[in-house]
Amino acid sequence: MSSDICGILPRILIVSRRTVRKNKFVDFVGEYHLDLIVSYGGVPVIVPRVSGVHTLLNSFEPIHGVLLCEGEDIEACWYDHNDDHDSDGLDLSQEELEEIRRLHASDTSIDKEKDSIELSLAKLCLERNIPYLGICRGSQVLNVACGGTLYQDIGKELSKKCDQSQRVMHINYDDYDGHRHAVKLVKNTPLCHWFQGEEEEKEEGEEMEILVNSYHHQGVKKLAERFIPMAFASDGLIEGFYDPECYNPQDGKFIMGLQFHPERMRKPDSDEFDYPGCPFAYKEFVKAVIAYQKKLNSLTSVPKPLKLNKEMESKRKIIVRSFSLAKNLYTMGRGNCSSKDSELEIGAEFLEVLNSTFFIFI
């Protein structure tokens, strides 16, 4: 691999979201994701949500990292076969599903192509240990790709099992960006380490708690076995998880999902984060991406060809021609017999070494 290629910044794939503008579809990605990736040394590569792109993902190689973020609900067919319907007896009726579609119209418009693209990318990351960060829907994609399941609607399923004091509003359309709810961070997890020191010292055994934003009506129901929770809402919903076997940013390992949006946790009318730890998920993710790229380059790099001076280049050409002539004379009984003896002697010496090696192996 040339030094030019080795000097290229790591490529992080992000799948766009689709909206309608002037009666035409427009693909977009939130600016905060892009800003943070660039600021920490990565290059965002936007994968358009276009029909058939899920079959063309090899054209986006090399892939050094994948960031999947917000979007519509994942179609239930991708995970309902993994669900134990007898575990809570809360299968949703057709009437309830219709009500959910009315309440969350923008989220419940299923995007089959985006599902296919993102699930394919998530599985590729898991197969090749490519660093992966899932935000909001992206965390749900990661869980589903590993065999986990989702609540089709938290209000209709999870909240029914909770006391009134435990219930959480996970989306507030009247205060979309300002809405916050508390989550408790699991000790000795990356998320807890990033936010340590954000609060006054806790009593021994007391869990750290932060306020996070929330824009979702679905969430993790059954967490895939490979993952460990990092945060819980008071209703028991998992708000963050990671794979401890695939977490070592310095070594290029990072597989994580966050249900909330740390990149959007900012003070009103300001770009100042709610907590200094908010951008750390992106910082550590890009760190892992950079390390992964270095490992990939070391495995695929090819030494530069030796630069010969004029004298050596002249001899190289004589050897190549002599070998060609000698081969023809030996195998086919024909060649340019008017070649200089010195040239054929060099070719003979070359063949002598080659034949000696050949006879050793036979």
Ranges in the chain, pLDDT < 70: 1-7, 82-90, 197-206, 301-306, 328-329, 331-362
Pick from 284, 170, 308, 286: nearest CA to 234:
170
Nearest to 16 by CA among 53, 43, 42, 41: 53
Cβ atoms within 10 Å of 99's Cβ, excluding its own: 15
**Burial class (CB within 10 angstroms; exposed 0-12, middle 13-18, buried 19+) of 295:** middle
244-265 per-position pLDDT tens digit: 999 999 999 999 999 999 999 9
The residue from 54, 216, 261, 278 that is catalytic is 261
CA dihedral in degrees (265, 267, 268, 269; nearest 10)? -100
User: Is position 136 annotated as part of the catalytic site?
Assistant: yes
* The pLDDT of residue 340: 56
User: Residues 72, 118, 157, 263: which is the catalytic one?
Assistant: 263
Query: What pLDDT is attached to residue 229?
Result: 98
**Of 136, 146, 246, 278, catalytic:** 136
Cα–Cα distance measured from residue 337 to residue 334, given in angstroms and rounded to the nearest whole number: 8
pLDDT at 303: 58
CA distance 60 to 58: 5
Distance of alpha carbon 191 from alpha carbon 184, whole angstroms: 10
210-232 pLDDT per residue, tens: 999 998 889 999 999 999 999 99
Domains and CATH numbers, the chain: 3-300 (3.40.50.880), 310-361 (no CATH)
Q: Is 261 an active-site residue?
A: yes
pLDDT reported for residue 1: 43
Rounded to the nearest 5°, which phi and psi values hold at 207? -85, 150
